Amino acid sequence: MKNFIALAMACALTGCSLIPSNPATGDDKGGGGGKGGGKGGKKGDAAVPVTLAKVSQRDVPIEIQVIGNVEAFATVTVRSQVGGELMKVFINEGDLVKQGDPLFKIDQRQLQAMIAQAEATFQKANAALSQAQATLSKDQANLQFLKSQAARYEKLVKEGVISKEQGELTAANANASEQLVNADKAAIESARADIGAARAAADNLKVQLTYTDIRANLTGRTGNLMVKQGNLVAPNGADMVAINQVQPIYVTFAIPESQLDHVRKYMAQGKLQVVATPQEAGGASETGVLTFIDNNVDATTGTIKLKGTFKNTSRALWPGQFVRVVLRLYTQHNATIVPNQAVQTGQEGPYVYVVKEDQTVESRSIVTGARINEDLVIDKGLEQGETVVTDGQLRLAPGMKVAQRGDGKRGGKKKAD
């Protein structure tokens, strides 16, 4: 016992092991463990647990995603063109009205009285015209007689039958009668002008009478009613109601000017599809087409405004609403796809770790394309069916072995081998 205590103290001072050797093998577990641990600890022997994914191919839509704003296809502000008491309001606030539906009715009595007066003036002008025409006929007959008499008297004066004074008097009477005929003709023209003025006044009043019956000139939804029944309205006075046309409807959005050439290129090949989705959860999407590109780029933001037109059959889009807009340019067929997480960025650009057949990795430079939700299009650098690392890249270097994360048994077996 004393010898064992002394041995233990000596081992404590020298750092030796008290674990006995295996009598079957003759190996010292401590020494063997140190050797084996040193071998297993070499860089590259242990498989690094990572998450892997296969490179795939599929048709993907190439899109531009932005936030847009819904605008009414057309907005009409209703005002009265005539004055009077508002006798009837046919609509409620927020009603959906069709083109031609009655909106308001204004008192017609004053205009009806003015129309009756204008029509009386018209009839009076007609009577004056008839009288002027009768006077002209009488004066023309008298003129014809006086001209014949003046011709006879002129001959008798030359023959010396009557005096010269009598001949001159007859000629003066004929000239006066001719002037009277000219005055009759002017009176007829004046009566005709009075008839035209009276007719125009009556027609104008009849047009104004139609303004007392205010109808919708487009199909849309009414806003807030500014006037109530019984109020007096003035010609071109305050707004009465606004109507927004919501079927069809516009969605306005802006894209970076760098995308303009792409949009124009694919728009020239056919109509471009635009999808608008309300930002609230569960909002139904509407599909339309791109119909407008602004004629200038906003220098302050470097963007250009575009508009999509939507049928809006379900009326899911509302003027003033903000929506998520997806402008689809074209569909890239058989595109090479990897998850976004697989792509890393280095000093020489984007790269991925590709797993080779011996379960080691290599760093491969790639050329990236469009981003599709959680995936990324790879234009160059990868082939379908290859395996890439999507998580755990920070622990990797080229040549290191990897194992699918969660596959501990397989990894342990390889380590033992």
Residue extents of the structural domains in the chain: 48-59+334-416, 65-74+244-332, 80-106+216-239, 108-211
The alpha carbon dihedral of 297, 301, 302, 306 has a sign of negative
Q: How far is CA 65 from the centre of its chain?
A: 15
DSSP 201-242: HHHHHHHHHHHTEEE-SS-EEE----S-TT-EE-TT-S--EE
pLDDT at 262: 87
> For the residues 247-265, what does the mean pLDDT come to?
93
Residues in the chain: 417
What pLDDT, on a 0 to 100 scale, did the predictor assign at position 45?
62
pLDDT score, position 415: 38
Compute the Cα dihedral for 236, 86, 241, 217 and give only its sign.
negative
Tell me if residue 89 falls in helix, strand or coil.
strand
Give the distance, in angstroms, between the CA of residue 297 and the centroid of all CA atoms in the same chain. Answer: 17
Q: pLDDT class for 304, splitting at 50, 70, 90?
A: very high
For residue 342, give the nearest of 48, 55, 57 by alpha carbon: 55
Predicted model pTM = 0.61
- The correct answer on CATH 2.40.30.170 for the domain covering 65-74+244-332 is yes
**Quick one: pLDDT at residue 10?**
41
Q: Looking at residue 136, what is its pLDDT? A: 83
In the prediction, which pLDDT does 131 show? 87
- Model confidence at 40, pLDDT cuts 50, 70, 90, reads very low
Lowest mean pLDDT of 75-79, 163-167, 356-360, name the range: 163-167
CA distance 228 to 172: 74
* CATH number assigned to the domain covering 48-59+334-416: 2.40.420.20
Supply the pLDDT for residue 160: 74
What is the mean pLDDT of the segment spanning 320-348?
A: 92
Going through 36-138 in order, the beta strands assigned E by DSSP cover 48-54, 56-78, 84-89, 96-97, 102-106
- Determine the Cα–Cα distance for residues 371 and 378; give it in Å rounded to an integer: 9
Find tokens 């609403």 and name the residue: 321
Please check whether the domain covering 80-106+216-239 is classified as CATH 2.60.40.10.
no
